[in-house]
Structure 1
Amino acid sequence: MPKIRVGELDVHVQRMPAAGPPVDGPRPLVVLVHGMLIDSLASYYFSLGPVFAERGMDVLMYDLRGHGRTTRPATGYRLEDFVTDLDGLLDALGEGRPAHVVGNSFGGAIAYGFAATRPDRVRSVMAIEAEPPVRSWAAKMAEGLTGEEGGLVVKEVRTWLLEDPERNARPFQLAGRILDATTLAEDIPRSRVLDDGLAAIRCPVFALYGADSELSGQADHVAATLACCRTAVLPDQGHSVLVERPKETADLLLGWLEDDIHTPLEAG
């Protein structure tokens, strides 16, 4: 499993080259950014990654700092650190193509932050059950990670395991190690937020929500505020959109790419 040196990190990377015959000009690049704590690039490796590759896109997946097989430094977990890591990874790979950046949950916040910071490197953002990193997002992160009894995130994990002890506890054990060994919980709520709201994000955006998730309530606001945005809400679905509805997620993202920004995709 290849690792690429990016600053202080050895970043675990997986690539899926586009399937099918060559297309005219450079192939589209899609970068898949996973969520926080219980997630890794594996959630994409078995879901969206192969689908995008089969449709003629070069796919790049990587483990975030502290997660999966990437280095776990003790400190340095503000959102801007994750954004800098992505920028440095593209540099280290010699990748000059503007990317379609897909972010799931916290990965969506990274995608939004990267689009605001490096608009030249982002062709579009596809955010799955994600919130842009504005002040309200930072407040929710503080409540979720450092609030009463360790925060809402910790309490939800405990409840999830109690409801079904036979579930695979390993991802949650790994999440506990990250929280114990790093300053992630303290750093993320102190991240630099987009003070000017979403005005810095000028690329096309597709935002996907689960109807039963609390984040779905912001769909209309996000669509109205961003310069070029479409939203979709999956009925009877909570936060785990990518895990529980991967085919519908892939169909919606690829359909938006083809319909709204006319990306040259092809069947493999």
Structure 2
Amino acid sequence: MTDILANSLRWHVQRLPAALPDPDREHRDDPAGPPGPAVVFLHGLVVDNLSSFYCPLAVPVARAGHEVVLYDLRGHGLSERPPTGYDTRTAVADLAALLAALGLAGRPVHLVGNSYGGTLALHTALARPELVAGLTLLEPPLSGAWVENMVDTLSVAALSLEDSPVSAELAGLRLRKAARLTAVADALLNHTSLIDDIAAARTFGPAEYARLHCPVLTVCGEHSELLPGARELVRHAPDARLRVLPGLGHDVLKETSGVLRAAVLGHLDTVRQAARTAERGVLVP
């Protein structure tokens, strides 16, 4: 793990190198060929951070031969927490600056976003398409109704945390992780513009989806309230697929049977092969 300075902030970043390809995998045909896109993970809001991806997806993706970048979003985890700048436009600028600082600016990346991270990934693909080779969106909140519900939920949470002794009590019980997450939530909700910035967020519709020209995989639980929005995205985006995971709601990262991992790795291989073909100057069908 390391700290990176980008867009005038300090970011907590972890990079996992691409492992040698498994000899049983289909992409063994050209191990010396140009590398595929680096895979950048974007986590969800408030109590989430880069660690939520580590075991379910980040390590398996690196072992499958993809370079991996994980980072704590602005104000989250161990990244710097300024009082403002939690709007989607700034998040896109943050990501672009971070990619440049990591030496990845000239090489389109594959974005994997969970929950609100999926929204940020989609904003990036629309605002800076030259940065994005592909998208994997896990339970992405895409509608105005989600924004309203989230603002209400976060506002209630902010009131409950304001001047609350909970974090200190948890620390006193040596529940350090819970104490730290509670303190981060309080700092974000009561001492930054996060809630106001989310309330002002722009939502998506068919016109935006039609402008997506990279491959998109969207994954939702069958009981998720976000599934209708995912289906609308797939209807209108030129190259998008939807995978519905049975028995799950807004918790697809908790899927342990390997279905999610296989779906994500399969999509990444498709994007990698397309990128390699494009680099060789061959038209991609």
Larger Rg computed on CA atoms: 2
Does structure 2 retain, via aligned residues, the 8 Å contact 1:15–1:58?
yes
Aligned to 1:9: 9
Q: 2:41 corresponds to which letter in structure 1?
A: L
Letter matched to residue 228 of structure 1:
D
Please tell me the residue identity of whatever aligns with 2:228. G
Residue 94 of structure 1, aligned match among 85, 92, 103: 103
CA contact (8 A) 2:6 2:94 kept: yes
- RMSD between superposed Cα atoms in Å: 2.6
Superposed, 1:256-267 pairs within 5 Å as: 256-258=267-269, 262=273
Report the counterpart of residue 18 of structure 1 in structure 2. Answer: 18
Match of 2:190, SS? helix
The offset of 1:259, in angstroms, is: 5.1
The CA distance in 1 between the partners of 2:122 and 2:183, in whole Å, is: 29
Deviations 1:47-105 (A, max 9, x none): 21111111111001101000011000011111111111001101111212111100000
Residues 1-268 of structure 1: pairs in structure 2 closer than 5 A: 1-20=1-20, 23-95=32-104, 96-132=106-142, 135-146=144-155, 149=156, 169-170=178-179, 171-194=181-204, 196-245=207-256, 247-258=258-269, 262=273
Q: Provide structure 2 residue ranges, at least 5 long, that are not aligned to the other structure.
A: 22-30, 162-174, 277-285
**Matched position secondary structure for 1:197:** helix
* CA distance in 1: counterparts of 2:231 and 2:203, whole angstroms: 21
CA distance in 2, matches of 1:77, 1:260: 30
CA shift, 1:115, in A, is: 0.3
Q: Deviation of residue 137 (structure 1)?
A: 4.8
Q: Are residues 116 and 218 of structure 1, via their aligned partners in 2, closer, same or farther at CA, if it must alter by over 3 Å? A: same
TM-score, scaled relative to structure 1 = 0.83
Deviation at 1:136, TM superposition (A): 4.7
> After superposition, what is the alpha-carbon deviation per residue over 1:144-198, rounded to whole angstroms, capped at 9, x for unaligned?
434xx458x99xxxxxxxxxxx9x7443443223212211011112134457432
Cross-structure match for 1:162 = none
How far has the Cα of 1:238 moved from its partner?
1.5
Q: Which amino acid aligns with 2:119?
A: A
Separation of aligned partners in 2, 1:40 and 1:258: 26
Contact preservation (8 Å) 1:211, 1:237: yes
Judge conservation of contact 2:37–2:133 (CA < 8 Å) in 1: no
Amino acid in structure 2 at the alignment position of 1:82: A
8 Å Cα contact 2:135-2:214 kept in structure 1: yes
Mean Cα deviation higher: 178-187 or 65-74: 178-187
CA separation of 1:259/1:17 partners in 2, compared to 1, >3 Å: closer, same or farther? closer
Unaligned residue ranges in structure 1 (runs of 5+) = 155-165
SS in 1 for 2:47: coil
Using the TM superposition, give the Cα deviation of residue 141 of structure 1 relative to its aligned residue in structure 2, in angstroms. 3.8
Number of equivalenced pairs: 249
TM-score by length of 2: 0.79
CA contact (8 A) 1:17 1:58 kept: yes
Alpha-carbon deviation of 1:38? 1.1
Moved more, 233-242 or 213-222: 213-222
User: What is the distance in 2 between the residues matched to 1:174 and 1:194?
Assistant: 29
**d(CA) in 2 for partners of 1:246, 1:103:** 20
SS at 1:222's partner residue? Answer: helix
